[in-house]
Amino acid sequence: MPSRDYANTRYSGLDEITTDNVAKLQVAFTFATGTLLGQESAPIVIGDTLYFVTPYPNILYAVDLTQPGGALKWKFDPKPAAASQGVACCQPVNRGPTYYNGRIFYNTLDAHTVALDAETGQLLWKTRVGDFNYGDTFTMAPLVVKNKVLVGNSGAEFGARGWLAALDASDGSIAWRAFTTGPDSDVLIDHAEFKPFYPQYRGKDLGVSQWPPEHWKIGGGTVWGWISYDPELDLIYYGTSNPSPWNHEVRPGDNHWTNGIFARDPDTGKARWFYQFSPHDLWDHSAVNENLILDMQWQGQMRKVVVRPERNGYMYVIDRVTGEVLAADAYTYITASKGVDLKTGRLIYNEDKTPSQGRVVREVCPNSPGAKDWTPSSFSKRTGLIYMPHNNMCMDWEVKPVSYIAGTGYIGVNARFYPGPGDGNVGELMAWDPVARRKLWGVPERWPVWSGTAVTAGDVVFYGNLEGWFKAVHAQTGEVLWQFKTASGIIGQPTTFRGPDGRQYVAILSGIGGWAGAMVSGELDERDPTAAKGFGNMVGELKKQSGIGGMLYVFALPR
């Protein structure tokens, strides 16, 4: 699976590549993806085969690692509907396939899930899980838990109503679907089993009453991020996205159950607890980031927690049994809020920044992609540190009237982004100590870091930047030990694996795109600062530093 394990650590026990020899890494082979719109997929390796998915048209490649230069074993073209590209808010990306029991599962942009025979590429089943005419698309990587393929929609920028669905891995039939908004029966809240820690989640049908009449039907709360699973507690954890539209004035209420985290029983889908990071979202602070499952020392006691680097700029430590927030520490420059009240669990918004029609709110930090977007962190069992890509950006924000028209964007905001205070560097790879609750070091980046990370038992952290540099960093000191310039910007997820020849390899897709790279890969016009929902305002030299591309790179030490 792209996140390596159910705990989402992205930690590999391989240690042939070390801090001492990583500087000798060289290209073992490359492989053209044939697509150009933002390569976010993690390559995954099962046996002698490497698999990855391209952005639309979502071709799945199986690469034979036993052949010199990585020959094509087979490919699968699901032929998604071309029109679904229109409802992909932030480029038609795909975050990867997953493997379970001899099968490859992945999602296509037009809201289908497919299951393939991992050996032959034969299509075993294909299920239409959503409807892109109403804004449902798929960009996330599925997770399989107890023979259920968990998939969730994207589309909160189009008024899609969010859900997580569990498909039977054997035949693709839908076992359960948990909506993010609407009546308890749709959200799979059974009050006999639902035990949230805070009282604001305890009422009946809050997914209806915390919205204007009927608005929950077009209220967003999509599920396009990472899912983790604790086999001992037998609970899955995942985040829900921003409510729709971005203009908050048209949706008074806390907008349950958007922008929060659910713990659910994977067999029935029933909710166990919920916590809302950004109630009544003001800024598109979509709460879908990874939840690292850690057992750690907390004030002299071992606690079962999830650590969540959240888009709103706080690093949350949450008791994963009860849903109690133990800590929420700012890890970046924040003006949008003033902290988290640990008694009530509520985010304390900065009243001065509340947007209202007719007034441009300035210097809102973090901006809508947030202190950290989908880009997954990693956690090293050896160093005890979290390696987190994150950003320091602010924005001007103006709400405007908006009407819902199915198939068009449901936004109601003009925004323009710019670097946060500091030296102009916008991104950083940060090492965070979750026990001491502080940053240890950071590797500064000129542009938003839009790639994931991986960390190894050789104490090397891998990630890439928008210019296309793929980097190896010392997991203890933050020293950049090696870097290689790939052909295009990197927004993918690094993978390390042992090849059929017994050597350790590192793989990454290069290919700029996604929200942060859309100005380049979409060939958008920066004379409009609101292009790409605000990134038009901060293109700078990026178009010179990174070209459009789509290539898999695989590295190894020389023989």
User: Terminal CA-to-CA distance of the chain, rounded, Å?
Assistant: 28
The answer to whether 317 and 326 are in contact (CB under 8 A) is yes
In this structure, what DSSP letter does residue 86 have?
G
Give the residue, chosen from 23, 83, 348, 435, that forms a contact with other proteins under the rule CB under 8 A.
83
* Distance in Å, CB of 516 to other proteins, minimum: 13
Ramachandran assignment for 476, one of left (phi > 0), alpha (psi -120 to 50 degrees), beta (any other): alpha
Check if the beta carbon of residue 97 is closer than 8 Å to that of residue 59.
no
Question: Which among 107, 153, 242, 391 is annotated as catalytic?
Answer: 242
CA pseudo-torsion sign 244, 245, 246, 248: negative
CB of 354 to ligand HEC, least distance (A): 28
Report the distance separating Cα 296 and Cα 278, nearest Å.
Answer: 25
Binding segment for other proteins among 76-84, 118-126, 222-230, 347-355 (CB under 8 A)? 76-84
Binders of ligand HEC in range 405-434 (CB under 6 A)? 407-409
Nearer of residues 87 and 364 to ligand HEC, judged by Cβ:
87
Please tell me which residue in 110, 157, 290, 324 is annotated as part of the active site. Answer: 157
Q: CA–CA separation, 143 vs 149, rounded Å? A: 6
Which residues, including other chains, have CB under 8 Å from residue 79's CB and lie 6 or more apart? 57
Nearer to ligand HEC, 155 or 448 (CB): 155
Could you say which residues in the range 311-370 bind other proteins, by CB under 8 A?
Answer: 360
Q: Which does 88 bind (CB under 5 to 8 A by kind): ligand HEC, other proteins, none?
A: other proteins
Looking only at residues 275 through 334 of this chain, which bind ligand HEC when binding is defined by CB under 6 A? none
Nearer to ligand HEC, 89 or 466 (CB): 89
86 binds ligand HEC (CB under 6 A): yes
Respond yes or no: is residue 363 known to be catalytic. no
**Smallest gap from residue 163 Cβ to ligand HEC (A):** 21
Are the C-beta atoms of residues 421 and 387 closer than 8 Å to each other? no
**Cβ proximity to other proteins, 75 vs 400, nearer residue:** 400
Select from 467, 468, 472, 452 the least CA-distant residue to 389.
452
Q: Which stretch binds ligand HEC (CB under 6 A): 85-93, 149-157, 432-440, 496-504?
A: 85-93
* Residues 209, 213: Cα–Cα separation, whole Å: 8
| Nearest approach, Cβ of residue 388 and ligand HEC (Å) | 33
Tell me: does residue 411 bind other proteins (CB under 8 A).
yes
How many Cβ atoms are within 10 Å of 203's Cβ, its own excluded?
A: 13
Site string for other proteins, 415-434 (x = CB under 8 A): -x------------------
DSSP 8-state secondary structure symbol assigned to residue 531: G
The reply on whether position 552 binds other proteins by CB under 8 A is no
- When asked if residue 410 is in the footprint of other proteins (CB under 8 A), the reply is yes
Q: In sequence order, what DSSP letters do the residues of 275-292 get, joined into one string? A: EESSSS-SS--------E
Stretch that binds ligand HEC, among 82-90, 198-206, 256-264, 507-515 (CB under 6 A): 82-90
Tell which positions 496-535 bind other proteins, by CB under 8 A. Answer: 518, 522-533
- Tell which one of 45, 50, 89, 141 touches other proteins (CB under 8 A): 89
What are the tokens at 484?
């290689």
Per-residue contact flags (x/-) with other proteins for residues 151 to 170, judged by CB under 8 A:
------x-------------
Give whichever of 401 and 558 is closer to other proteins, judged by the CB atom: 401
**Residues near 397 by Cβ (< 8 Å), separated by ≥ 6?**
283, 355, 360, 361, 364, 413, 414, 415
Residue 86 or 540: the one with the smaller Cβ distance to ligand HEC is 86
Name the helix (H) or strand (E) containing 337. strand 337-340
Number of residues forming the site for other proteins (CB under 8 A): 38
Integer CA distances (angstroms), 559 to 69, 413, 555, in order? 15, 55, 12
In order, the DSSP letters of 441-469 are EEEEESS---S--EEETTSEEEEE-TTSE
Measured CA to CA, the distance from residue 160 to residue 129 in angstroms comes to 13
Active-site residue flag, 284: yes
* 37 binds other proteins, rule: CB under 8 A: no
Q: Which of 110, 284, 290, 467 is catalytic?
A: 284
Residue 142 and residue 156: Cα distance in Å, rounded? 19
Instruction: Report the site for other proteins in 382-401 (rule: CB under 8 A).
Output: 396, 398, 400-401
Quote the distance between the C-alpha of residue 32 and its chain's center. Answer: 24
Binding window for other proteins (CB under 8 A); candidates: 84-92, 263-271, 332-340, 440-448: 84-92
Q: How far is the CB of 90 from other proteins (least distance, A)?
A: 8
Asked if 408 is part of the footprint of other proteins (rule: CB under 8 A), the reply reads: yes
Indicate which single residue of 104, 402, 431, 455 sits in contact with other proteins (rule: CB under 8 A): 402
CB of 253 to other proteins, least distance (A): 23
CA distances from 111 to 55, 155, 235, 296 (A): 13, 10, 25, 38
Interstrand relation of 454-456 and 11-12 (parallel, antiparallel or unpaired): parallel
Count of residues engaged in binding ligand HEC, rule: CB under 6 A: 6
Q: How far is CA 168 from CA 92, 105, 153, 373, 519, in A?
A: 26, 11, 17, 30, 39
157 is catalytic: yes
Tell which residue, 219, 276, 209, has the closest CA to residue 244.
219
Answer yes or no whether residue 405 interacts with other proteins by CB under 8 A.
yes
For the bound state, the minimum distance from the C-beta of residue 245 to other proteins, rounded and expressed in Å, comes to 9
Whose Cβ is closer to other proteins: residue 157's or residue 186's? 157
Contact 87, 108 (CB under 8 A): no
- The listed partner (other proteins, ligand HEC, none) that binds 71, CB under 5 to 8 Å by sort, is none
526 binds, among other proteins, ligand HEC, none (CB under 5 to 8 A by kind): other proteins
Residues noted as catalytic: 157, 242, 284
Binding residues for other proteins (CB under 8 A): 82-89, 157, 360, 396, 398, 400-403, 405, 407-411, 414, 416, 518, 522-533, 536
Binding site for ligand HEC (CB under 6 A): 85-87, 407-409
